[in-house]
Amino acid sequence: MTGAAVRSVGWWWRFGTEMLRRAGIEGAERDAQLILASHLKADPGTLRLHLDRELTASEFSEAGQQAYQTDLQSRASGRPVSKILGARAFWNSEFYVNDDVLDPRPDTELLIETALQQPFTRALDLGTGSGCIAITLALESRGSTVLATDISEKALNVARRNARATSVEAKVEVHLSDWFGAVDGQFDLIVSNPPYIAADEMAGLAPDLAFDPREALTDGADGLSAYRVITAKAPKHLVPGGRLLVEIGWRQGEIVADMFKAAGFDAVRVLPDLAGHDRVVAGVWRG
Ligand SMILES: C[S@@+](CC[C@H](N)C(=O)[O-])C[C@H]1O[C@@H](n2cnc3c(N)ncnc32)[C@H](O)[C@@H]1O
pLDDT at 3: 54
Please, what sign has the CA dihedral across residues 230, 231, 232, 236? positive
Q: Please report, as a single letter, which amino acid is at residue 6.
A: V
C-alpha dist (Å) from residue 86 to 62, 113, 244: 22, 25, 31
> Torsion over CA of 179, 180, 184 and 188, rounded to 10 degrees?
90
Ligand 1 is surrounded, with C-beta below 6 A, by 102, 104, 108, 126-130, 132-133, 149-152, 155, 178-179, 193-195, 215-216
Expressed in angstroms and rounded, the spacing between residue 128 Cα and the centre of ligand 1 is 6
Expressed in angstroms and rounded, the spacing between residue 102 Cα and the centre of ligand 1 is 8
CA-CA distance, 227 to 247, in Å (whole number)? 10
pLDDT at 207: 84
For a mutational test of ligand 1's pocket, the pick from 82, 100, 128, 230, i.e. the residue with the most ligand atoms closer than 8 A to its C-beta, is 128
CA-CA distance, 210 to 208, in Å (whole number)? 5
Burial class (CB in 10 A: 0-12, 13-18, 19+), 69: middle
pLDDT at 206: 84
Question: If you take atom 18 of ligand 1, which residue's CA is the nearest one?
Answer: 178
pLDDT at 189: 98
CA-CA distance, 60 to 56, in Å (whole number)? 6
Q: What is the pLDDT along the chain (287 residues), one digit of tens a residue?
A: 445 678 999 999 999 999 999 999 999 999 999 999 999 999 999 999 999 999 999 999 999 999 999 999 999 999 999 999 999 999 999 999 999 999 999 999 999 999 999 999 999 999 999 999 999 999 999 899 999 999 999 999 999 999 999 999 999 999 999 999 999 999 999 999 999 999 999 988 888 889 999 999 999 999 999 999 999 999 999 999 999 999 999 999 999 999 999 999 999 999 999 999 999 999 999 98
For a mutational test of ligand 1's pocket, the pick from 214, 215, 252, i.e. the residue with the most ligand atoms closer than 8 A to its C-beta, is 215
CB 242 within 8 A of CB 186: yes
Enumerate residues 6+ apart whose C-beta is below 8 A from 1: 57
Strands 122-126 and 145-150: parallel
Expressed in angstroms and rounded, the spacing between residue 155 Cα and the centre of ligand 1 is 9
Neighbours of 139 (CB within 10 A): 18
pLDDT at 111: 98
Expressed in angstroms and rounded, the spacing between residue 216 Cα and the centre of ligand 1 is 5
Burial class (CB in 10 A: 0-12, 13-18, 19+), 239: middle
Report which ligand 1 atom has the smallest distance to the Cα of 155. Answer: 27
